[in-house]
Amino acid sequence: MEANRPGVDVTTLLNAWRNGDEGAGRDLMSEVYGQLRRLAAACLRDERHPCTLQPTLLVNELYLTLFSRVPVDCENRLHFLNLAARQMRRFVLDHARHRKSLKHGGDVQKLALDESRDHFITIDPSITDLDEALCRLEKLDERAAKVVELRYFGGLTETEAAEVMGVSLATVKRDWEFARSWLLAQLANS
């Protein structure tokens, strides 16, 4: 995908899209497509059970969601990627919940959009356990939960997470260590 507005940065495209320029929205998606695929792969990593979700499918679902409603209000590239990561996390969780709710497990239905470019990544139904633990953490320490969401589901570095959240790198590191330990303890008890 090639942007039609060479030299235009993501913040400019976000502002134009928010102001009604649908072409800017398409150019925005072209500009950040590679990053969105990496975020989608991060959302799907470390899963153990067979699944039909692929990074391309998540990005396409995100595209459809974004263009079926009013443009999102984002300040910059990192803010947009943060929102994209949250939405993709919701897609993955909805898919895992649906699979978990099937009485007999059902057959896996492949939804390959482009098998030549993607390989299947698996989803562990226990991702719902992680989401439930993350929701409990959010009630205990909202900022630490946000760090987990940005790092684990969003694939952001500690520095990028600190920038998005408007806190110091040291704060993100402390929150990340606390949240990881807390979540591991919670998941060990499930």
H or E element that contains 83: helix 77-101
Q: Which pTM value belongs to this model?
A: 0.57
The residue that leads in pLDDT, 104 or 116, is 104
- Per residue in 11-28, pLDDT (tens digit) is 898 889 888 888 888 888
Measured at the CA of 7, the angle between CA 88 and CA 66, to 5 degrees, comes to: 25
* Coil, strand or helix at 144: helix
The number of beta carbons lying within 10 Å of the beta carbon of residue 109 is 6
- Per residue in 138-172, pLDDT (tens digit) is 999 999 998 988 887 777 788 988 988 889 999 99
Q: Is the pLDDT of residue 137 over 70?
A: yes
